[in-house]
Structure 1
C-alpha cells in the first residue's frame, strides 16, 4: 500500500472518530492531523 493511501486512510479514520465527539463545524484540520499523529 502506498504512503499516500495510508495517509488518506488515517485522515479518514481520524475524521470519523472526531465526528463522534464533535459537530462537523467544530472540527479543524489541526484536530484531524493531531488526532491521527500527522504533521500539518
Structure 2
C-alpha cells in the first residue's frame, strides 16, 4: 500500500462526516458556542 493510498484511508470521513484530517474550523462551522463552558483538565 502506497503512502497516498494509506493517507486517503486515514483521512476518510466517518459517520459524523468528519475524519482524522478534518480541521477544527470544519468541525465547528455553524456552531454558536458563545454560551458553552469548557473545563480542560
Tell me the TM-score normalised to structure 2 length: 0.38
Indicate the structure whose relative CO is greater, using CA pairs within 8 Å and at least 6 residues apart: 1
Q: Which has the higher helix share?
A: 1
Tell me the TM-score normalised to structure 1 length: 0.39
Larger Rg computed on CA atoms: 2
